[in-house]
Amino acid sequence: MAKEIERKFLVASDGWRNTADGGTRFLQAYIVTMDDRSARVRLMDDKRAKLTIKIGSGSMTRDEFEYEIPVQDARDMMTKAIGLVIEKTRYEVKHRGFLWEVDVYGGAHEGLVVAEVELGTEDDKPILPDWLGTEVTGDPHYSNQYLSTSPIISKADHELSYSPF
């Protein structure tokens, strides 16, 4: 069984862009969502798809099971989504021995930019990049599961002071 251990932050500036990869476009839909578990489907650049099941309610650590699935199956499952289909572009940024994933949201969440870092253990202490803002690890309002049923109100709600595009 795989474990997902991550920390999540709002992004305060675009300083990450200088070292980011080219990005991957995601469409993400939840087909099951409960307080302590979810099943989601992701379509990446319209070329690959994954089904992911997450179980647990810890702020940093959850069980995660992920499987490649046919792209057409993902498209079919998305038509049965609970709530919104999340639109985002994910960029990978290496910073001092850790790989950060910066998600730039579109659609109903336009203006939201969040960075996550996956850890080997909860005790890992990555050096935080200076482009990070407030830590939102464990805040359910910034989980994709929550975002699938709740569009944001405004950019100001997420402390953004720059345009992510």
Catalytic residue among 30, 91, 105, 142: 30
Supply the pLDDT for residue 67.
Answer: 97
DSSP 48: E
Asked about 30 being catalytic, the answer comes back as yes
Q: What does pTM read for this prediction?
A: 0.89
**Of 134, 124, 144, 157, which Cα lies nearest the Cα of 3?**
124
Q: How many CB atoms lie within 10 A of CB 40?
A: 24
pLDDT score, position 162: 40
Residues 6+ apart with CB under 8 A from 117: 6, 7, 98, 99, 100, 101, 126
Q: Which pLDDT belongs to residue 15? A: 97
Instruction: Mark the ranges of the chain whose per-residue pLDDT is less than 70.
Output: 1, 151-165
Domains with residue ranges and CATH for the chain: 2-158 (2.40.320.10)
